[in-house]
């Protein structure tokens, strides 16, 4: 397994592989890798000859300076973990200057309104930062296929929209959420949970499953109010939002339709750690 820190280096290496008609898969990450990331890498290895894993904590997608500062950075451990998976993995771990060069600033994007829903309401400029880094990584790696987890479902939808609008020649694959045995969605942030909050956090998925069951017979308004009440009675977890939305538009549901597919989205604070999750409802 090889590790590159500069885009000129990795571009030269990948061009040699592409000249031999090898297929390149891509898994962009911010590091602090866990089994959820590895499941994306394994899927990519099944469909490609080589897989690039980028490890880069992208400053332009953070709206909270403290969150950016505290985000775990474990490059040595991450590369060791990837080395146990396959020798067909190529790591790209650049500095901020290699990605942004002169100015660390996000581009402005139009995602046809997807960026204004859910996370977009609560994290100012977040999706411009996401679009900027993913677009630049696509331009550097030029993969055939790219893989993203469905835990960040809105991000996945936005990346698909960006690829469509900018006509980027890459196939986007969304992969299932991996969970701990207690149901908590795997996340790099989980490492920072204090013991009491770690114990309490599975309540998030438990609530999502109950919401799904109720959505079969109850209205979206009823289910939303039930979830909000459940969290208002919780001693440790603070609900930021719970939204039932159309999977295509990500707009909140007013009235259910038999012809549409719905998903429930949630964001919760466990002390100062922000956790997100979602579940398909039909």
75, containing H or E segment: helix 75-83
Phi, psi for 277 (deg, rounded to 5): -160, 170
CB 247 within 8 A of CB 262: yes
Among 13, 34, 37, 173, the active-site one is 37
Token pair for 57 = 């904590």
| Helix spans in 84-200 (H) | 96-100, 119-122, 126-141, 153-165, 195-200
Three-state DSSP class for 25?
A: strand
CB 39 within 8 A of CB 175: yes
Residue whose structure tokens are 């609530």? 207
| Radius of gyration (C-alpha) of the chain in whole angstroms | 19
CB 5 within 8 A of CB 94: yes
CB 270 within 8 A of CB 190: no
**Distance of CA 106 to CAs 134, 217, 237, 238, 270, Å?**
11, 43, 32, 30, 29
Residue whose structure tokens are 């996401």? 130
**Distance of CA 210 to CAs 150, 173, 182, 217, 251, Å?**
20, 28, 15, 12, 21
Mark whether 37 is an active-site residue: yes
Active site residues: 37
């Amino acid at each position: 397994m090889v590790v590159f820190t500069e885009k000129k280096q990795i571009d030269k290496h990948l061009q040699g592989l592409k000249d031999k008609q090898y297929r390149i898969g891509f898994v962009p990450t911010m590091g602090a890798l866990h089994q959820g990331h590895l499941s994306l890498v394994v899927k990519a290895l099944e469909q490609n000859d080589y897989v690039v894993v980028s490890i880069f904590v992208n400053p332009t997608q953070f709206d909270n300076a403290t969150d950016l500062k505290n985000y775990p950075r474990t490059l040595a451990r991450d590369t060791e973990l990837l080395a146990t998976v396959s020798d067909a993995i190529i790591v790209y771990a650049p500095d901020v200057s290699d990605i942004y060069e002169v100015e660390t600033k996000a581009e402005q994007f139009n995602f046809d309104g997807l960026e204004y829903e859910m996370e977009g309401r609560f994290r100012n400029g977040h999706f411009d930062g996401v679009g900027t880094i993913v677009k630049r990584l696509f331009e550097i790696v030029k993969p055939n296929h790219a893989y993203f987890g469905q835990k960040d479902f809105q991000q996945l939808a936005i990346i698909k929209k960006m690829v469509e609008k900018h006509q980027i020649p890459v196939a986007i694959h969304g992969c299932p959420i991996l969970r701990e045995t207690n149901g908590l969605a795997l996340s790099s942030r989980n490492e920072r949970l204090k013991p009491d909050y770690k114990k309490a956090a599975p309540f998030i998925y438990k609530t999502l499953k109950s919401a799904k069951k109720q959505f079969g017979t109850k209205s979206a308004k009823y289910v939303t109010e039930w979830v909000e009440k459940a969290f208002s009675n919780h001693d440790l977890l603070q609900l930021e939002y719970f939204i039932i939305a159309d999977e295509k538009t990500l707009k909140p549901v007013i009235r259910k339709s038999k012809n549409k597919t719905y998903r429930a989205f949630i964001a919760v604070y466990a002390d100062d750690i922000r956790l997100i999750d979602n579940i398909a409802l039909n």
